[in-house]
Amino acid sequence: MEQTTIYFNYVKEMRFYINKIKKIGFKNSAIFFGGIVRDEIISCHYRQLFINKNLEFNQYWNPEYDLETKHRLLLPNDIDVYFNSTENANKFINNMIELLKSFRGVINITNMEHSHNFRYMNESHNLKHYKLNTYIEIGKTFIFKGIKIKLDLDVIYFDDTAGGSIYIEPPFYNLDFFCNIFIMEEINGNKVIRHSNTTGTPLDNMSLIPKTKKLLSIMDDIINFRTQFVRNVNSINTEYVNAYRIIKMMSKTQNWTITNLSFSCVLNSSLTTTITDIKTCCICLEEIPVEEDIKIITMNNNNNKFHYNCFLEYLEKEKNNKYRDAKTGEIECRCPYRTPFNFKDCYKTITYQ
């Protein structure tokens, strides 16, 4: 009996799955925000570069083909989507259930109202939150279990069931990084990416020309995987949330550079050093080889250096320790030499003119 081999590309399948989700969202007046918009900006930029170079389209989905434009294949880790009414949110969820059924997939829905989640909630805005965990099996046969495609969605909506209305859109006056300032919606049948009007930063009230200049600078940073930390929230738990978001950004595989922190991520080979300057990581106490091209963390105010992974593990533990200042009661995250990082003050270093 003749055998048939079925080939499929994971990135291509996931991209088409995400496109279906976007189509369902737009049908229900969705506003997408966060990583899906950021990655759309980046992937579209590198896709256009791919086209401009007149490369072979039959190699488009090959991640090893033309590494200069490899970010054309960038995919979000999850999807954040907002609806301005309970009805639209429920319609979207029901449509997602039907989509998963058509692919013999699985969807788990969790009401996050009592989860103490700090990513979106703001009591004054009456926002509600559902978490959707979705699974689809691609290429499943009687003898092959297939490949599982997993994607999580955060569905945020304004609860208007008690009456009343309010104008609000992501990021709900709670912007964390400049790279998340853009949102995506459908207007008159066309997909539109624009900046949010409710960021909680001075951009919300800036005049057209200086705002446009700043947005162009932010866009250039995005396609080069650079950003600034802009969150400006004052509470006793602020630094815990700040550290959570910074760690999440630093853990991405695309090597994002956050340019206004008290430390920097660099390649060890880029440092000007001599044999007498060889340092050891003060966390693991192992040597940082001068000749190796590895990522390290260097403190901006001194000559201390750390292995990148050692530093991330340390920062994660420091965040979870929830050390509180004896006088203020506020959580502090401190470097290995016990100096506070003061993430809450990063926004003060940003210029808007």
- Between the CA of residue 169 and those of 32, 67, 164, 198, 296, what are the distances in Å? 10, 36, 16, 6, 37
Q: How many CB atoms lie within 10 A of CB 317?
A: 9
pLDDT tens digit sequence for 74-90? 999 999 999 999 999 99
Q: What is the pLDDT, as a whole number, of residue 269?
A: 72
What per-residue confidence (pLDDT) applies to 353? 76
| Reported confidence tier of residue 115, pLDDT bands at 50, 70, 90 | low
More confident residue, 122 or 220: 220
Give the per-residue pLDDT at 275.
47
Residue 118 has pLDDT above 60, yes or no: no
Q: Is 126 left (phi over 0), alpha (psi -120 to 50) or beta?
A: left
H helix runs in the chain, sequence order = 10-27, 35-52, 86-102, 208-223, 238-250, 308-321
Query: Domain locations in the chain?
Result: 10-225, 238-349
Element at 76 (helix H, strand E): none
pLDDT tens-digit series, residues 316-352: 999 999 999 999 999 999 999 899 999 999 999 999 9
pLDDT at 47: 97
- Is 125 or 233 the better-scoring residue by pLDDT? 233
Token pair, residue 180, equals: 């998340």
190-226 pLDDT, tens digit each: 999 999 999 999 999 999 999 999 999 999 999 999 9
Residue 344, SS3? helix
Residue 140 pLDDT level (bands cut at 50, 70, 90): confident
H/E run at residue 193: strand 190-195
- For residue 134, the model assigns a pLDDT of 98
Please list, in sequence order, all residues whose beta carbon lies within 8 angstroms of the beta carbon of residue 68, skipping any fewer than 6 positions away: 49
What's the rounded Cα separation, in Å, for the pair 339 and 86?
A: 46
Q: Of 284, 281, 301, which is closest to residue 292 (Cα–Cα)?
A: 281
Three-class secondary structure of residue 128 per DSSP:
strand
Span 160-179, average pLDDT: 87
In whole angstroms, give the CA distance from residue 300 to residue 245: 20
Statement: residue 69 has pLDDT above 50: yes
What is the helix (H) or strand (E) element at residue 187, kind and residue range? Answer: strand 182-187
269: three-class secondary structure by DSSP? helix
pLDDT score of 113: 78
- Report how far residue 255's alpha carbon sits from residue 91's, in angstroms, rounded to the nearest whole number: 37
- Helix residue ranges, H only, 63-189: 86-102
- Of 255, 10, 37, 8, nearest to 151 by C-alpha is 10
Sheet with 263-267: strands ordered across = 263-267, 295-299, 305-307
CA pair distance 20, 26, nearest whole angstrom: 10
Within 8 A by CB and 6+ apart from 225, the residues are 42, 254, 255, 256, 257
Average pLDDT, the chain: 90
Q: Collapsing DSSP states into helix, strand and coil, what is residue 191?
A: strand
Cα separation, 23 vs 310, in Å, equals 41
Phi-psi region of 137 (alpha: psi -120 to 50; beta: other; left: phi over 0): beta
Confidence of residue 119 (pLDDT cuts 50, 70, 90): low
Q: H or E element: which one contains 108? A: strand 106-111
Based on its alpha-carbon atoms, the radius of gyration of the chain, rounded to whole angstroms, reads: 23
Percent of the chain with pLDDT over 90: 72
Percentage above 70 pLDDT, the chain = 91
Does the pLDDT of residue 6 top 80, yes or no? no
Preceding peptide of 171 cis, ω within 30°: yes
Contact 92, 30 (CB under 8 A): yes
Could you give the C-alpha distances from 127 to 101, 130, 173, 240, 248, in angstroms and in order?
28, 10, 13, 22, 23
Q: Determine which helix (DSSP H) or strand (DSSP E) holds 276, and give its type and residue range.
A: none
Residue 276 has pLDDT above 70, yes or no: no
